[in-house]
Amino acid sequence: MLKKKLAFNTRNICYLCTMQVTAKELSNFLDGTLEGDPNVIVTKPSKIEEAEIGSICFLSNAKYESYIYTTKASVLLVSRDFQPTQALSPTLIRVDDVYASIAALLEKFGVTENVAQGISDQAFVHPEATIGNDVTIGLFTVVEQGAVIGDQSTIHPQVFVGKNVKIGKNVTLYPGVKIYQDCIIGDNCIFHANVIIGGDGFGFAPLVDGTYKKLAQIGNVIIEKNVEIGANSVVDRATMGSTIIRSGAKLDNLIMIAHNVEVGENTVIAAQAGVAGSTKIGKNCMIGGQAGFVGHITIADGVKVQAQSGINASIKQENISVYGSPSLPYNDYLRSYALFKRLPDMSKKIKELERKLKELEKE
């Protein structure tokens, strides 16, 4: 493979948002319904509690509603069925899905970060690696023998791509990402800083003398297309076979995915969650931060897990919400907690009743 010089031309990557557009243009772009001044100019997005004149902000959570009656924002995105309880000064754009509309605006009006194209002279690319068209490889990155990197992928500085790793098209690897040998990454994936793919699973056999013998981890990791993984998250290689992250899954920062786990399509997992070995999580699940899963269980499609819940058994019912540790169905947990937090008072009352009962028995 011929090593391409680091070029002076640049690739644009969305970084922050800026705009100069009227409320009417925004409404047309979002297929929204406009209420108010169609000619007001929007220059930037803002949080609703910090908005200034020229800002666009949004309301999707009822607990922030109080801010919309005092905000200085020029335009406010709301759902079509939202009914204000006071007079509003911003121009309203009513849309079907507030979050989807924000995502569309950020994508369209993003300020771009300039990333130099080509392969840095200070990167090491093995002669037997295969590099696609329009690939960027940054400073001090290492691409090992037999690796394949697909067209239009961007590899930032200080990334390690191990032997025989296969990386698809339009993949972005931010600084410090490490991908161990034989792992497979699909098209359009994004891995943020210091993601580790393919480290050894936690496999040790106890010996009679109380020590542990390491078990060889000879599998790999397969990450399908359109997956995004947050900074400092890890996905361990399988003991045998593959650890699999299915298409469209989104993993937050500081997540641990153990050996032979499977995460289903379009499942989202918030920060600091951990999934133990050989657990299978279905598609379209939503998992809150710091949730923990024991190994060798199966989670049905569409399950919602509240933050800090502990899942210690398989969940076979689809689209159920669970809460607590060990987890219970969501409403059962709330009812149980309502009783649990009253236990100290209930204990006092029981002791008082026991005292009175003893007094009656004496009489």
Say what angle helices 98-108 and 23-30 make with each other, to 10 degrees.
Answer: 110
Q: CA 61 to CA 273: how far, in whole Å?
A: 24
Strands 304-305 and 292-293: unpaired
Specify whether 259 is catalytic.
yes
User: pTM of the full predicted structure?
Assistant: 0.79
Cβ atoms of 310 and 287 closer than 8 Å: no
Q: Which of 126, 156, 259, 296 is catalytic?
A: 259
**pLDDT by residue for the chain (363 residues), tens digit each?**
333 333 323 344 333 355 689 999 999 999 999 999 999 999 888 888 888 999 999 988 888 888 999 999 999 999 999 999 988 999 999 999 998 998 888 777 765 566 778 999 999 999 999 999 999 999 999 999 999 999 999 999 999 999 999 999 999 999 999 999 999 999 999 999 999 999 999 999 999 999 999 999 999 999 999 999 999 999 999 999 999 999 999 999 999 999 999 999 999 999 999 999 999 999 999 999 999 999 999 999 999 999 999 999 999 999 999 998 888 787 887 887 777 778 888 888 888 888 888 888 877
Only one residue has tokens 């970060």, namely: 113
Q: What residues form DSSP beta bridges with 160?
A: 142, 178
| Same fold? 19-108, 116-335 | no
Only one residue has tokens 């309301």, namely: 59
Domain ranges of the chain: 19-108, 116-335, 338-363
Q: What residues form DSSP beta bridges with 205?
A: 213
Q: CA 104 to CA 111: how far, in whole Å?
A: 14
pLDDT of residue 13: 38
pLDDT of residue 114: 64
Fold for 19-108, please state it. Answer: 3.40.1390
Cβ atoms of 121 and 139 closer than 8 Å: no
pLDDT of residue 343: 82
pLDDT of residue 328: 73
Q: CA 189 to CA 248: how far, in whole Å?
A: 9
Cβ atoms of 186 and 203 closer than 8 Å: no
CATH code linked to domain 116-335: 2.160.10.10
